[in-house]
Amino acid sequence: MRHKYFRKTVRLVWKVCGIRVLLACGINIIDGLLPLTSIILLQSIVNELTSILSNPNYDFDSILVLLIIQFILLVVTSMIGSIDSINSANMEAKLDYYVGLLVIQKSISLPLAYFEDAEFYHHLDRITKGGYGNKLLSPIKTMLGIIKSSITMISLFSFLWMIHWSLGILSILSAFPTLIIQTKFGRERFQLIRFQTPAAREANYTSALLTNRQSAKEIRIFNLGEFFKERWKKRFLLNSRNMLKLNKKQDIARILLDSITALLFGICAYIVVSLLKVGKMTIGEFISTAQGIHSAQASINGISTNLAKIYEINLYLIDLFEYLEYNDEQKFTKETRNLFPSYLQKGIFIKNLSFKYPKSNQLVLNGITIHIRPGEKVAIVGDNGSGKSTLVKCLMGLYQVEKGSVFYDDIDIVNIDNCDLHKNMTAIFQDFMKYAFTVMDNISFGDIHNTHDFELVKRIGIQTGVDDFVKKMPKDYDTLLGKILGEGEELSGGQWQKIAIARSLFRDSKILILDEPTSSLDPLKELEVYEQFNSMTNGKTVIFISHRMAAARMADKIIVLKNGKVAECGTHDDLMFLKSEYYQMYSVQAKWYS
Ligand SMILES: Nc1ncnc2c1ncn2[C@@H]1O[C@H](COP(=O)(O)OP(=O)(O)O)[C@@H](O)[C@H]1O
Ligand SMILES: [Mg+2]
């Protein structure tokens, strides 16, 4: 077990809600002493009652005092319970917020490559399930529970020992079986949850497919409903069957355990009755001893249950802190970081660049060398899977490269502060985002420092053709889009595309990258978009990816990628003259445009 995470948790909880932790400590100490207090009180009351029976001139004052104390004790017990649960709820809420924020912050600062990894998603899924507050509070509550039960146990143990040493020993002995079984099942339960995450994820995903709006159409057209339902049933039942199996095992073990406890209890009862028989015990002592043995066993069970829980909790803490300790993207200090060249003079140099995805042996990019001059319009073409998207992601510093590098003027990309790098470029991806916010938001997200500049949004809206459909909408640029956050407007694929283009142009950056954002348009429409885009980006460096050659024709330079290598590079005329890769692709597609 790695206890360092336990310590970290305590430190974190202390930092977030120190005073409340102290309050909880106080409550648990008082709570721990209550059982002995009530047992001693019970003993006194019973002894007084026996004197009433044997003495006709009994003075009732002393029993009255005892009954009042009993009443106060009851009220205090109930009050403590309420204060404790209010205090816990408060701490939980604070921790939920604080740790939720930490996890979000971490997710923002992790390199993109993590998000390509299924194992990473499983990890994230495990830690975000079921609220952070109660999970993090769990170790503290468990420890306090152990302290409380220990106080109870020690006080009752001393009480029983004073009556007869064997009673003390027997109550301690009954702890061991529980401890062993609880620890074993704590570990098994966590491993089961961990192991079944993929099945649970699939069940959740399938159920989401069946219940969400986006998939509803296809599910009906392709009659997938029943099929997915069966699949969900299988995964769900597999999951719950394993859990039930474990519960059954645990229950059987518990029955065995309870029998041992009952046996020990029986032995204690025999000893107590013997003591009573030989006159070494008053009736009050007899009753309080019976109660004491019972409470001592309960407190020992409490300790062992909590000790076992620590195991389970610690496994969760390892998961959480390992997530929070994932390596962030490289951060530069003021001295070491380079800023992006304020004015790109020589251009972008890709030098002998190679790249492979994590957990894969295949080079997706292999020894690529390209020079892009400032202000040049470059088209990257090639078959699906030839490495076009990967190349531009390397250019944008989203992936760390395997070998070689990218230079902006003379500065190696690895030395450029990522924030500054991204400030100077803009991109539209193949799978661009459709934010369920207003039109204004969707466009102005292109430059988060400038989200109130309505004039600019409007101007770019007009340039990109967004304005044509937005001005017909009820609230103009304040119209909500999509149906996720309310009754927003639905847009067509082409309209979303225009919004995405507007977003990328909203940022005044020197380098623009388009990764087939228009692939869902028909070839002629796509050509039109590119022509329009070209006229709007005069003087800027534009890199666009397409598998449609007519759009490439407009470029100053065309780079043909094949299996991760540069197969050809030159102008349209150069490459047509070569009569090789580009020529063939172009000829095949030429009929689309004639
Ligand atoms: N996240 C990823 N993990 C592993 N392999 C990937 C990933 N993304 C793409 N690939 C692989 O890299 C190759 C190039 O992909 P990509 O750059 O997307 O090609 P293109 O954009 O030219 O269609 C493909 O063989 C693809 O299977
Ligand atoms: Mg691609």
pLDDT computed for residue 403 by the predictor: 87
Residues with CB under 6 A from ligand 1: 116, 357, 360, 364, 382, 384-390
Going from the Cα of 390 to the center of ligand 1, the distance in angstroms, rounded, reads 6
Q: Which of 412-416, 534-538, 560-564 shows the lowest per-residue confidence on average (mean pLDDT)?
A: 534-538
The residue to mutate among 115, 390, 544, having the most atoms of ligand 1 within 8 angstroms of its beta carbon, is 390
pLDDT computed for residue 14 by the predictor: 93
Instruction: Assign a CATH topology to domain 427-508.
Output: Rossmann fold (3.40.50)
Q: What are the boundaries of each domain within the chain?
A: 4-324, 427-508
- How many whole angstroms separate alpha carbon 175 and alpha carbon 424? 66
Judged against a pLDDT cut of 90, whether residue 198 lies above it is answered with no
pLDDT computed for residue 368 by the predictor: 95
Across 464-471, average pLDDT:
93
Q: Could you tell me which of 511, 517, 540 has the C-alpha nearest to residue 530?
A: 517
Of 301 and 246, more confident: 246
Judged against a pLDDT cut of 90, whether residue 266 lies above it is answered with no
User: Which of ligand 1's atoms lies nearest the C-alpha of 561?
Assistant: 22
Are 299 and 152 contacting, i.e. CB atoms less than 8 angstroms apart? yes
Helix/strand/coil for 513: strand
Question: Parallel, antiparallel, or unpaired for β 403-408 and 348-355?
Answer: antiparallel
Between the CA atoms of 574, 579, 583 and 585, what dihedral angle is there, to the nearest 10 degrees? Answer: -140
Q: Which amino acid is at 591?
A: K
Judged against a pLDDT cut of 80, whether residue 130 lies above it is answered with no
Going from the Cα of 489 to the center of ligand 1, the distance in angstroms, rounded, reads 34
Going from the Cα of 389 to the center of ligand 1, the distance in angstroms, rounded, reads 7
Chain mean pLDDT for the chain: 86
pLDDT computed for residue 450 by the predictor: 86
Helices in 110-174 by DSSP H: which ranges? Answer: 118-128, 132-163, 165-173
Judged against a pLDDT cut of 50, whether residue 1 lies above it is answered with no
pLDDT computed for residue 79 by the predictor: 94
- How many whole angstroms separate alpha carbon 576 and alpha carbon 594? 17
Going from the Cα of 257 to the center of ligand 2, the distance in angstroms, rounded, reads 61
Going from the Cα of 542 to the center of ligand 1, the distance in angstroms, rounded, reads 22
Across 357-383, average pLDDT:
91
pLDDT computed for residue 550 by the predictor: 77
User: Which of ligand 1's atoms lies nearest the C-alpha of 391?
Assistant: 17
- How many whole angstroms separate alpha carbon 446 and alpha carbon 509? 10
Ligand nearest to the CA of 392: 1
Are 363 and 561 contacting, i.e. CB atoms less than 8 angstroms apart? no
User: Token digits for 84?
Assistant: 């404790």
Are 181 and 251 contacting, i.e. CB atoms less than 8 angstroms apart? no
User: Which of ligand 1's atoms lies nearest the C-alpha of 515?
Assistant: 21
Instruction: Give the right CATH number for 4-324 from 3.40.50.1820, 1.20.1250.20, 1.20.1560.10, 2.30.30.140.
Output: 1.20.1560.10
Residue with tokens 């400032």: 374
Judged against a pLDDT cut of 90, whether residue 91 lies above it is answered with yes
Packing angle between helix 493-506 and helix 523-536, nearest 10 degrees?
Answer: 20
Most confident of 336-350, 476-490, 556-570: 556-570
Evaluate whether 4-324 and 427-508 have a shared fold: no
Across 506-519, average pLDDT:
86
Report pLDDT digits (tens) over 381-430.
998 899 999 999 999 988 888 789 999 998 999 888 888 888 889 988 88
Residue with tokens 């159920």: 207
pLDDT computed for residue 400 by the predictor: 81
Judged against a pLDDT cut of 60, whether residue 20 lies above it is answered with yes
Across 519-523, average pLDDT:
72
User: Token digits for 388?
Assistant: 């076009």
pLDDT computed for residue 335 by the predictor: 59
Structural Rg of the chain based on CA atoms: 36
Confidence of residue 160 (pLDDT cuts 50, 70, 90): confident
Going by CA atoms, what residue is nearest to atom 18 of ligand 1?
Answer: 389
Going from the Cα of 53 to the center of ligand 1, the distance in angstroms, rounded, reads 92
